[in-house]
Structure formats: C-alpha cells, structure tokens
Amino acid sequence: MINPTEVNSLIRLLDDPDTEIYGHVHQKLLSYGPEAIQYLEDAFEQAFDPVQQERIANLVHEIQFGIVKNDLKLWHQSGGFDLLQGILIINRYQYPDLDEQKVINQIESIKRDIWIQMMNEASPVEQVKLMNHVFYSIHGFSGNTTNHRDPQNSYISQVLETKKGNQISLAIIYSIIAQKLDIPVYGVNLPQHFILAYLDENPETEFEGGILFYINAFNKGFIFGRRDVDMFLKQLNLQFDKQFYEPCSNAEIIKRVLRNLISAYEHLGSAEKVDELNELLVILNPPNS
C-alpha cells in the first residue's frame, strides 16, 4: 500500500524548477505504478500551474503506457490466443479509462442478433450472407472511405461506436463474432488489403489450403475466390507467397493494426505516438526473433 501523504507531498514537488529534484520525484512517483494514478488525477484537477499540470499528465500517461506494454508482453508470451483481448490492449493505448465491458457487450449483442437468425443447416455461404445482413444492413457497419487514414479507424471502441473502420478493424470484429458463433472465419495478411478466409472444416473435401472462400469485410462482406487473390497479387507485381492466402496468427493481426496506427500518426506528425507504437511493435517483433 502506498502512503497518501507521501504521494501528495511528492506530487506538490512536481513543479520544482530544480531538474535534479524533479527527476527524483518523477522516478519515485513512477515507481508506485498504477496505484499513483488516482492521486495524480486528483492533483491535476486542483493544479493551477501549467508546468505542474503538464508534468502530472505526462506522468499519468507514462504509467498507463507501461501497463499497456506489460499487458501486450503477457498476451504475446501466453500465445496471443484471444484476439479480442489483444485488440483491447491496443485500444487501451489511446483510451486507458474505457469501460472494456461495454465493448464486449456490443460484440455480444451483434453475435446474439446473428445467432437468433442462424439456421443449423445453413451452408457456409448462407452463414456469411446472414452475417453480412446483420452486420452491415442492420447494425450499419461500413468501411471509412472518406477518412481512411484517421487513427480512430484502428481503435475497436471507436469503430463499434461510429460503425466505421478500416479493412483490418472491421475484419477483426467480423472474425471475432464469427468465431464466437463457431463459424471458421480467420484473418489473412494480404498486402494492402486485410481479408478473411472461411476455412473448410470438413476433411472429406479437397480445397486448396483448406479454404472454401474469402471475405472482404471492408466491402460489406463480399465473397470471392482464390483466383481473385491471384489477380490482385499480379496487379501488385508480387510473387506467390503462401502467407497471402492462409490465415495468420493473432500476433500478426495486432502487428498490422500497430503499423496502420504508426502510419496514421506519421501522417498527422505525432512523433511521440509513433515512437511509442514502435515500442509496442518491438514487443511483438523482438530484434532476435
């Protein structure tokens, strides 16, 4: 347990002009971790000095960013099996105080609406068409074509709120819901376009790579085949590569989200955010791996 009197005394010293004292106070407060946040936020509301306010805000962000890094490291080390958990960790970078249960409830609500209409005997194509109807027509999700580079397109809480996202965020939500309904839809790391694959779970049939068809979540769940992927790669002058056709790991999906965010913040000139997101990328891409 931390001592409230001690913490508040240290916070009052945050505007000290002596850099050595400030450095010591900063490190001491940082060492308290998440427990110090409430005290810092209370002090921020009462502070009138802009230097002290800025230093408090930076310190809160530093502690919260440390939590995000730690959470991402643990998620990755434990196998990154839960995609929703992974994307919520990235969401925490921008929205540390978000009620994550709200996101979970929103996803459950869409899943329930699809489940109510789902017939047990529906074929894979019928399942996807039904999902598309509920996801795009009833819930109103669509690709953000007017402001494609907006970083908000990559934060799941914002996409669920505005119903607009980029290729990967829509595909993530779509695949999370599909998998909750036992529909085998997984992400495929195609260059420039993140797509989904419907896996063939029936060993009797012989489909190339075990994939029945592909889905474009950005284009209202449009269904297409392997030849379309061939054509797309040809247009990009890219050689055949297995990874462009087959499902990728959740870690690869989160890496792609981070790269999108880095690109979006570079475009906005937010150098600090670019540096921090690169730190998160390194966690999933250790230098010696």
Domain range annotation of the chain: 4-77, 83-284
Is the C-alpha dihedral spanning 159, 165, 167, 171 positive or negative?
Answer: positive
Report d(CA 91, CA 76) in Å as an integer.
Answer: 16
* DSSP annotation string for 28-95: HHHHTGGGGHHHHHHHHHH---HHHHHHHHHHHHHHHHHHHHHHHHHHHHTT---HHHHHHHHHHHH-
* 228 strand-pairing partners: none
Looking at residue 209, what is its pLDDT? 62
| More confidently predicted of 13 and 129 | 129
Residue 233 pLDDT grade (very low, low, confident, very high; cuts 50, 70, 90)? confident
Looking at residue 49, what is its pLDDT? 81
| Burial per residue of 75-99, b for 16 or more beta-carbon CB atoms within 10 angstroms, e otherwise | bbeeebeebbebbbbbbbbbbeebe
- Strand, coil or helix: what is 118? coil
Report d(CA 163, CA 185) in Å as an integer.
Answer: 20
| More confidently predicted of 71 and 5 | 71
Give the lowest-confidence range in 107-111, 200-204, 232-236.
Answer: 200-204
Residue 12 pLDDT grade (very low, low, confident, very high; cuts 50, 70, 90)? confident
* 222 strand-pairing partners: 216
Mean pLDDT value of segment 130-144? 96
pLDDT tens figures, 246-258: 999 999 999 999 9
Residue 65 pLDDT grade (very low, low, confident, very high; cuts 50, 70, 90)? very high
Mean pLDDT value of segment 97-115? 96
Looking at residue 159, what is its pLDDT? 97
**How far are the Cα atoms of 72, 82, 104 from residue 250, in angstroms, in the given order?**
12, 8, 18
The answer, yes or no, to whether residue 158 has pLDDT greater than 60, is: yes
Give the gyration radius of the chain's Cα atoms.
22
The answer, yes or no, to whether residue 2 has pLDDT greater than 90, is: no
pLDDT tens figures, 191-219: 888 999 999 876 555 455 689 999 999 99
Name the nearest CA neighbour of 135 among 105, 103, 107: 107
Q: Is 33 left (phi over 0), alpha (psi -120 to 50) or beta?
A: left
CA 73 to chain CA centroid, nearest Å: 14
